[in-house]
């Protein structure tokens, strides 16, 4: 058994344990393998072990991997999870399946305009800044409902949910408290009648707290592929 296969099994076991502790079905949480900086061969190993959704932070690196793994294109779901500048929206709209990091309407409008007609709608999440850091990506929590209403109306996009990357916190309860802020925004938006079903929270160090707070998708890199050099 390779390291990646073993790591995937361990992460999946952590998800099951966390869901059990939270009184949730394990199937309610999807695993997104964050493959930035790792070569296509590593993704092929994870694919062979059953992993189908992969997240890339950098557009050019993601596009290169989509090209190099073109034989798996119908099987793999490609997620763009890094900050997105307006000059990078076209290749993302043309080649990715998901975008997690929409934090302003201009980016969503460009993705909508540039999504080819022949492709399925681009699945998108709004990135919400839940801890107020001025230098962090994400729409402020108070502005998220208005942005969600606007994005939900755009053609060729399907608004699926919210994503957040809070600052690292020292323990489970502190982590969970930050994630609960994102969960509160998620419920507020859903309460306005926008049909969200994805709350993208949690990484290798804090997936348990994210699941306790209601995460439906965890973004795991290091715990699957190992440390980045």
The pLDDT tens digits for 65-77 are: 999 999 999 999 9
Identify the CA nearest to 22 among candidates 200, 130, 146, 180: 180
Q: What are phi and psi of 217, to 5 degrees?
A: -150, 120
Gyration radius (Cα) of the chain, Å: 17
Domain locations in the chain as residue ranges: 3-18+28-225
The predicted-structure confidence for 206-216, as pLDDT tens digits, reads as follows 999 999 999 99
Topology classification of domain 3-18+28-225:
TIM Barrel (3.20.20)
In this prediction, residues 5-13 reach a mean pLDDT of 98
**Confidence at residue 134, expressed as pLDDT on a 0 to 100 scale:** 65
- For residues 187-216, give the mean pLDDT: 97
Q: Tell me the pLDDT band of 44, cut-offs 50, 70 and 90.
A: very high
Q: Maximum distance among all alpha carbons in the chain?
A: 48
Q: Exposed, middle or buried by CB within 10 Å (0-12, 13-18, 19+), for 171?
A: exposed
What pTM was computed for the model? 0.97
């Amino acid at each position: 058994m390779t390291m990646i296969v073993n790591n995937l099994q361990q992460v999946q076991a952590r998800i099951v344990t966390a869901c059990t502790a939270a009184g949730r079905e394990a199937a309610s949480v999807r695993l997104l393998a964050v493959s930035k900086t790792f070569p296509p061969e590593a993704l092929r190993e994870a694919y062979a072990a059953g992993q189908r959704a992969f997240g890339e932070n950098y557009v050019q690196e993601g596009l290169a991997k989509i090209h190099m793994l073109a034989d798996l294109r119908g099987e793999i779901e490609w997620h763009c999870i890094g900050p997105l500048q307006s000059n990078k929206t076209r290749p993302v709209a043309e080649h990715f399946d998901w975008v997690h990091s929409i934090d302003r309407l201009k980016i969503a409008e460009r993705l909508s305009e540039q999504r080819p007609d022949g492709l399925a709608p681009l699945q998108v999440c709004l990135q919400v800044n839940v801890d107020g850091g001025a230098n962090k990506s994400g729409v402020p929590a108070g502005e998220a409902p208005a942005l969600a209403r606007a994005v939900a109306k755009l053609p060729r996009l399907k608004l699926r949910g919210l994503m957040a990357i809070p600052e690292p916190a020292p323990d489970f309860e502190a982590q969970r408290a930050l994630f609960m802020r994102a969960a509160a925004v998620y419920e507020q938006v859903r309460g306005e009648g926008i049909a969200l079903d994805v709350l993208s929270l949690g990484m290798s160090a804090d997936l348990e707290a994210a699941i306790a707070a209601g995460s439906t998708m965890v973004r795991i890199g290091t715990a699957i592929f190992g440390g980045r050099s």
